[in-house]
Structure 1
Amino acid sequence: MLELRDITAGYDRRAPVVRGVSLAVAPGEAVGLLGPSGCGKSTLARVAALLHRPDAGTVVLDGTPAHGWRHRAPRAQRTAFGVLFQQPRLSADPRLRLADVIAEPLRATGRKTEVANRLGELGPLVGLGAELLTRRPHEVSDGQLQRACLARALVLRPRWLICDEMTAMLDASTTAALVAVVESYRRETGAGLLAVGHDRTLLERWCDRTVSWAALGTTTGMPGAG
């Protein structure tokens, strides 16, 4: 179980963008978090993925509270998450080939011997052929780069997926393809999913249940909070 308990978070303790929010995602469950731009849902997603330390509250992963954030989180907790962001060009190193973008987490965790096999599995899965894997971000479309970012999110076989507006910049066909990959992975592994977005139709079709930001009883965030 992934549990967010009474989370307050932001970028200025005097004006949190998330206040007193609790949310839980069960193993194998897909939960949609629906809210307008700027309400704070992306901040909550980053807290859930152990990428942003909350000002108050607790993240509990499989019964164990998180005690560290980003690189200070225990490896077992840090690598339990695969995260996909809205803007792939801000989350991929422009100097790297797509193959290296995908392989980053393996190299960072000392699992270089798995790179070739995982690229061979994930490239076709997300719709990237061998030739595209040799290109750099500026040589591919947003959709192709987001496919690489999805492969990167899956490369460590995470137990939890956090998808923060992952399809907001994509056309309908690419959106359908990436959602299908995520759902295939969930069926095969039993991973849980927190999908953040503002498209009610997409979230309700995709997820087992959808929670509106307003229903969480939080205060309104600020512009840019997500």
Structure 2
Amino acid sequence: MTNTPHLLADEVTVGYGRQVVLDRVTVRIDRGETVGLRGPSGCGKSTLVRVLALLHQPDQGRVSIDGTAVNAVRYAVPVALRTRVAALFQSPRAAADPRLSLTDLIAEPLRATRTPEAAVRERVTELADLVGLTADLRSRRPHAVSDGQLQRACLARALVHRPDYLLCDEATAMLDASTQAHVAAVIRDYQLTRQAGVLVISHDQTLLERWSDRIVDLAGTAPART
């Protein structure tokens, strides 16, 4: 392997009870590249995203960021490390707190790291403009906006800490064509600006071939939840 900065899941195994979902899986995403990930339903693609996003501890194997092993998950990981990876999931409604306005949804990760409020407001405005959320939409709660508008807010939230690695788990699957194109364009522009590594999971073979530098096949071991 080269010395290129990278996010790595190395020989990762994850099980739920007696069901093995990932069995010694290795996936690497280099800075600046887009890796497509495909595989049948139930093969553990979403579980792999959660492991790489430092949201789920693997039973075996490890995750590393630029060669630094990460041996914890969530808030047990130092801020400077955990904010380098972000994920955008398929269902924005499952990922969003229904009590928060879109402004507060985007701001939430910044406030969790005690960012000064003036800087929070500036960053939220910058990202809301980037993803195409007008001022009137930002004050609304999730139930009062469309899936596409809510996913734009979730994308803004994912980018709020300027991550080096962005994991997209069927992130455009529930969106109409115009919103799909806009979300993809924002991600591509962000990647070029920041030299970010991007993982794209999709059942859309055409999208994977168009968007990815290379495609990894994840074979399932048995029917399982992802």
- TM-score between both structures, scaled by the size of structure 1: 0.94
Distance in structure 2 (CA, Å) of the matches to 1:128 and 1:111:
22
Report the counterpart of residue 9 of structure 1 in structure 2.
14
Secondary structure of 2:87's counterpart equals: strand
Report the counterpart of residue 90 of structure 1 in structure 2.
94
**1:159 aligned to which of 155, 159, 164:** 164
- Unaligned ranges ≥5, structure 2: 1-5
1:148-207 residue CA offsets vs partner (Å, 9 max, x unmatched): 000000001111101111011111111111010000000000111111121111111111
After superposition, where does 1:149-188 map in structure 2 within 5 Å?
149-188=154-193
Report the counterpart of residue 3 of structure 2 in structure 1.
none
After superposition, where does 1:68-79 map in structure 2 within 5 Å?
68-79=72-83
Report the counterpart of residue 145 of structure 2 in structure 1.
140
Answer yes or no: is the 8 Å Cα contact 1:34–1:210 preserved in 2.
Answer: yes
**2:218 aligned to which of 190, 198, 213:** 213
**1:64 aligned to which of 65, 68, 77:** 68
Report the counterpart of residue 28 of structure 2 in structure 1.
24
Report the counterpart of residue 42 of structure 1 in structure 2.
46
Distance in structure 2 (CA, Å) of the matches to 1:77 and 1:203:
28
Answer yes or no: is the 8 Å Cα contact 2:49–2:87 preserved in 1.
Answer: no
Please, which moves more after superposition, 64-73 or 146-155? Answer: 64-73
Secondary structure of 1:17's counterpart equals: strand
Tell me how far 1:221 sits from its aligned partner: 4.5
Secondary structure of 2:168's counterpart equals: strand
Distance in structure 1 (CA, Å) of the matches to 2:195 and 2:113:
23
2:221 corresponds to which letter in structure 1?
T
1:80-129 residue CA offsets vs partner (Å, 9 max, x unmatched): 11211111001100010000000000000011332111122111110101
Distance in structure 2 (CA, Å) of the matches to 1:219 and 1:127:
41
Moved over 6 A (4+): none
- TM-score between both structures, scaled by the size of structure 2: 0.94
Distance in structure 1 (CA, Å) of the matches to 2:137 and 2:50:
29
Distance in structure 2 (CA, Å) of the matches to 1:161 and 1:112:
24
Distance in structure 1 (CA, Å) of the matches to 2:40 and 2:179:
23
**1:201 aligned to which of 197, 206, 214:** 206
1:116 corresponds to which letter in structure 2?
R
Distance in structure 2 (CA, Å) of the matches to 1:195 and 1:44:
12
Structural RMSD (CA): 1.1
Paired residues in the alignment total: 220
Distance in structure 2 (CA, Å) of the matches to 1:139 and 1:10:
38
Tell me how far 1:211 sits from its aligned partner: 1.2
Secondary structure of 1:10's counterpart equals: strand
1:80 corresponds to which letter in structure 2?
R
**2:122 aligned to which of 117, 126, 132:** 117
- Unaligned ranges ≥5, structure 1: none
Secondary structure of 1:86's counterpart equals: coil
Change (3 A) 1:129 1:193: same
1:174 corresponds to which letter in structure 2?
T
Distance in structure 2 (CA, Å) of the matches to 1:59 and 1:36:
23
